[in-house]
Structure 1
Amino acid sequence: MKITDIKIFLVDCYRTNWVFVRMDTDEGIQGVGEGTLEYKEYALEGAVRHLRQYLIGKNPLEIEKHWHDIYRDAYWRGGPVLMSALSAVEMAMWDILGKVLRVPVYQLLGGKIRDQVKIYVNGWFAGAKEPEEFAEKAKDMVKWGVRAMKWDPFGKAYMNISNSELDRALRCVDAVRQAVGKGVDLLIEGHGRFDVPTSIRIAKELEQFKPMFFEEPVPPDNLDALSEVRRKSPVAIAAGERLYGRRSFKELLEKGAADYIQPDVSHAGGIWECRKIAAMSEAYYIPFAPHNPSGPIANAATLQLAACTPNFEILEIMVSDVMWRQDVTNEHLAFQDGCIRIPEKPGLGIELREEACMEHPYIPHDLRHYSGQLTNIRPPQTVRYFLEK
C-alpha cells in the first residue's frame, strides 16, 4: 500500500477554522486527520504540504517510522506548526491502519478498558456577560445531563487583575456553583493569562468553590513559573494544551508543574505520541485530561485514546457548534448521564464530506481573550451535535 495524495481542507467554524486532511492510497482506502491550529491555519496548511512531499509513495502503515523521520528531518523541531501538521497526517495513517485491519484504532493500542468517558463541556456560556446569565446557562446544562463544565470568568485581564475585576470573576464562579450545587464539577480556565503572584492569589480565592482544577494559570513558555504556582496553589493545576511532544511533557512532569496534563491530539504529535505522554504521566500518577475543543476528527481521535488509556480522566468537548458541523463529517456521538460512548467503527470511525467542507471556506478570525469578547464563542445559531441518549 502506498500514499498517493494528501488533500487539505480549511473549514470556517466561527471561532476559528478547522484544518482537516484526507490521505489517499493506491488501494482506495482513505484516512482522515485534523490539526486545527487556531489563527495560524495558513502556516499549518503550508506545513502539511511539506509533509506531503515526504509521504507520497510511502506505506501509510509504517506510522512509527514516518513520525520519527519527519520529526528528525524537520531540523526546526517541535512547535505548534510542525507538530500540528504531524498530528494531522499521523491521525490519518492510524485511520487507514484501523480500516485495513477492520478494527477501531483503540484496538491497535492495547484494547478498550472503558465503554464510555466522562465529559466536561466548554462553550456552554456563549453570550453570557453577567453572573446571573452564567448561572442560568449552567442550570440548563445540568438539566440536560452535564456533570462538569469549564469557563474563563476573568474578562480581559492580563498578567494581573484589579480587585474589582477579581470580585466580578468570583461572583460569576459563585453564581454558577450556587446554580449547579456541589455535585457538578467546575473547571476554571486561565488561558495562560496571569503572572505568578496573581495566579497564586486567584487560586487561593477559588478554593472556596472546590473546582476540579484551575487550568493554565500562567503563560505556557515557563514551566518553572507554572511549578511555582502549583507549589503554592490550594487547588489542582492543569496545563499542557500548548506543549508539543513527549519531551516537553517530560520536563513538565519532572518539575511537578501540574496535577492534570492536557495534551491536544491535534497539536502534541498525534495519537501515538499522546498515548506515550499519557504513559509517562501514569508513572507519576498524574491524570490525563486532554485539551479537545476543536473539530469532529480531533474529537474522534481523542475518543480512541479515551477508550484505551488507563489514566484518562475526563474529556473536554464543545457543547454546541456551527450548524454545519453535522454536514462536514458523519460524526455520531451518543451522550448519556454526563458521558459519551466510545464508537466501535473501524479506524477513527468518522468520514469527511468533501463537498460540505468546501461550502464553508476559510474566514480569518482573531483571538478574543484580551478584547472583552471571550464569551462570543458561538454564532447566534448553533446545534448540539451529541443528542443521542
Structure 2
Amino acid sequence: MQDLTITKLELFRVAPRWLFLKLTTAEGIEGWGEPVVEGRAATVEACVRELEEHIIGHSAHRIEDFWQMVYRGGFYRGGPVLMSALSGIDQAMWDIKGKALGVPVYELLGGAVRNRVRIYGWIGGDSPEALAAAARKRVDNGFTAVKMTICDQMEWIDSPAKVAEVGNKMAAMREAVGDEVLIGVDLHGRVHKGQAKAIARALEPYHPFFLEELVLAENNDALKALHDFTSIPIATGERMYSRWDFKRILEQNAVDIVQPDLSHAGGITEVKKIATLAEAYDVALAPHCPLGPISFAAALQIDFNCINALIQETSLGIHYNVGADLTDYLVDPDGFRLRDGHVPLSTKPGLGIEIDEEKVREAAREGHNWKSPIWRNADGSVTEW
C-alpha cells in the first residue's frame, strides 16, 4: 500500500473569489481542494491553517477518520467556516486517494450510475427583455437548462408591482425558450415568508424547474407550508452545512430538491451522506456550485455516483467571474468536456482535472478581497443580497 501520509499544505487565494488548497504526500502525490466561503476567503484560509497540525502526518487513506476527528474533535462544530475548511481538505484527500489507486473518486463511492450529467447555465439581466435574450443565448450554446435570480431588493412585504415584475420576467423567458427548456428560479433568500406565496403564485403559470431559497435557511420552518401551497418544486441547501441541517426539512416533507455545496457542506464525504439521506425521502439532489473548477469537479463525482442527482450548477460564464472563469486554471481548458448542456462521464483518476499550478501561483501573488455586496432598500434599511 502506498504511503499517503500528508507532508505539505499550500493555500492559494485566486481571482475571482476562490481559495485553492494543495496537499502533497510523502510519495509526492498531489491533491487539490477548494475550501472557501464567498466573501470570507481569508477567514476560511485561517481556519485551514488552524487545522494544519491535524492534516500534516495524517494519511489520505483514512478520510472518514480525518472527517470525524475534525468535526467531533473541536467540541464546537458545524457552521460555514469550519465546514468549508473541512470540505476543501476532504476534496483534496479524495483527489489523492483516487490518484493513488488510479481511479476516479466516483469509483471509490461505488461506481457510476449515469453516463453524463446535465448542467444549467446562469443568466443575468435587469429586464424581461434582457433575461429572455440571455436565456436564448444559453440555449443557442447548447444548454437545456438555465437559472437566474429574478428579484432584487425586497421589503418584508413588498408592492404588487414588485410581484408582477417577477411574473413578467419569467413569462418573457418562457416565451423565449419554450417549454422544453428547464428554468430554475433562485430567490436568493431575498423574499420573506409573508411575500413568498404571492411570488410563487406569480411564477406558477410558467412552470419553473424549481424555486431555490424561497426563504432564508434560518426560516426553513416556513418551507412546509410553502411546499404544500405551490406545485413548483422547492429547493434549498446552499447555506446548510451537514446532514443534521438537512434532517429536519426532510423529515417535514418540506423540500423536493436539496442543494448542498461541495465546498460548504463537508466535502465529498458528507454530501454523499446527505444525498443518501435525501434519497430515503424521495428527494432529488442538485449540488450548489457557483465556485471554481475544483469544487465543480468534486460535485461531478457525486453526480455520477448518486442516483437522485438531478442537475448540476456551474459557474461557467457567471457574472461573479471577473478576472478568471471556471476553466482558466486547468491545464486543459476543455477539461470538463462541456457538450450540449451536459458533462460526460470522466475516467480520469481522482477529481478528474489537472490544475495549471503555474497559473495558480501567478494569480495568488495578486490574490483577491472579494466581498458580498451590501444592499439597502429605499429607506436605507439593509436587505438581503
| Structure 1 length-normalised TM | 0.90
User: 1:347 and 1:26, CA in 2 relative to 1: closer, same or farther beyond 3 A?
Assistant: same
- Give 1:274 shift: 0.5
Cα-to-partner distance string for 1:339-358 (whole Å, 9 max, x where unaligned)? 11122110001233333123
Q: Which amino acid aligns with 1:6?
A: L
Question: 1:72 is matched with which residue?
Answer: 72
- Give 1:198 shift: 0.7
Pairing 1:12-31 to 2, within 5 Å after superposition = 12-13=15-16, 17-31=17-31
- Asked if the contact 1:328/1:356 (under 8 Å) is kept, the reply is yes
- Give 1:232 shift: 1.8
The answer to whether residue 367 in structure 2 is matched with residue 362 in structure 1 is yes
> Which residue, out of 211, 217, 227, partners 2:214?
217
Question: 2:101 is matched with which residue?
Answer: 101
State the alpha-carbon separation in 1 of the partners of residues 254 and 181 from structure 2.
26
The answer to whether residue 187 in structure 2 is matched with residue 190 in structure 1 is yes
- Asked if the contact 1:204/1:234 (under 8 Å) is kept, the reply is no
SS in structure 2 at match of 1:294: coil
Cα-to-partner distance string for 1:207-264 (whole Å, 9 max, x where unaligned)? 1000111110111113212222222223111001110111111122112221100000
State the alpha-carbon separation in 1 of the partners of residues 177 and 32 from structure 2.
38
Pairing 1:80-95 to 2, within 5 Å after superposition = 80-95=80-95
The answer to whether residue 112 in structure 2 is matched with residue 112 in structure 1 is yes
Task: Among all aligned residue pairs of Structure 1 and Structure 2, give the percentage whose two residues are the same amino acid.
Answer: 39
- Asked if the contact 2:121/2:314 (under 8 Å) is kept, the reply is yes
Pairing 1:319-338 to 2, within 5 Å after superposition = 319-320=316-317, 321-322=321-322, 324-325=324-325, 326-330=327-331, 332-338=335-341
Question: 1:134 is matched with which residue?
Answer: 131
Question: 1:383 is matched with which residue?
Answer: none
- Asked if the contact 1:204/1:235 (under 8 Å) is kept, the reply is no
User: 1:327 and 1:223, CA in 2 relative to 1: closer, same or farther beyond 3 A?
Assistant: closer
State the alpha-carbon separation in 2 of the partners of residues 283 and 296 from structure 1.
30
- Give 1:371 shift: 5.9
Pairing 1:247-326 to 2, within 5 Å after superposition = 247-320=244-317, 321-322=321-322, 324-325=324-325, 326=327
SS in structure 1 at match of 2:284: coil
| Structure 2 length-normalised TM | 0.91
- Give 1:114 shift: 1.0
Question: 2:226 is matched with which residue?
Answer: 229
User: 1:33 and 1:303, CA in 2 relative to 1: closer, same or farther beyond 3 A?
Assistant: same
SS in structure 1 at match of 2:44: helix
Question: 1:148 is matched with which residue?
Answer: 145
Cα-to-partner distance string for 1:115-171 (whole Å, 9 max, x where unaligned)? 10111112x32xx22211111111111111111111111122243332222222221
**Structure 2 residues without counterparts, runs of 5 or longer:** 378-384
- Give 1:369 shift: 7.3
Q: Which amino acid aligns with 1:367?
A: S
- Give 1:54 shift: 0.8
Q: How many residues align?
A: 367
**Structure 1 residues without counterparts, runs of 5 or longer:** 378-389
